[in-house]
Amino acid sequence: MLQAIELTKKYGDQVALHKLNLSIEPGEVFCLLGQNGAGKTTTINLFLGFTGASSGKALVNGILVNQAHAETKKFLAYIPEIVMLYTNLTSLENLDFFSRIAGFKYKKEELEKYLLQAGLQPEAFNKRVGNYSKGMRQKVGIAIAVAKNAEVILMDEPTSGLDPKATHEFSEIVKQLSQNGKTIFMATHDIFNAVNVGTRIGIMRQGSLIHTLNAKDISASDLQKLYLETI
């Protein structure tokens, strides 16, 4: 679903991403670790088409992002660290609005089903999201991604600032999305969560992918040790 071929991004003389080669299959949860500035967000932005590559290729479902940005967007949803919603609207109203932008018109019962699947409690459906916690906003973001019928969900530091309960709830939702065939690409600092939800884990340093490993083959403590040795 996602492929990078010698993907490189430079800002003047600064190399933000250096010849990244990576393939992510349907249903995978790929967790990308690295310090701030390692190239994680740059990688996401290149797949989303928010910025153009200096060289190399970014492909979504076999389609070159720089040649058919509008086409690749149909497969993608993006959940940033802070999910941007209309704070004066309820979660139902936000979900309805963003679904319509993507070309989908749902009945109220269908919208409620998506919010329930994302783990949001029914009593929150008609409350303005300006009063939501970060974890609740993340759930609305997931509901929007699923309602858009996105096959790939890109996440940037999704568990940052979440308490342990909210992180656990979020992890369970990600696992369910993967089981339903959704592809997840997650930039994160959360080593424990990467081992818990990931199928594969990458470690970046200074724009280069240094390690790629199967999550089932490593413990959180061993991953932490490898991460610290790498960065």
**Which domains, ranges and CATH numbers included, belong to the chain?**
2-230 (3.40.50.300)
Q: Is the pTM value of this prediction over 0.85?
A: yes
Average pLDDT over residues 163-177: 90
Cβ-proximal residues to 41 (8 Å cutoff; 6+ apart), any chain: 156, 187
Query: Tens of pLDDT along 75-120?
Result: 999 999 889 999 999 999 999 999 999 999 999 999 999 999 999 9
Q: How confident is the model at residue 204 (pLDDT cuts 50, 70, 90)?
A: very high
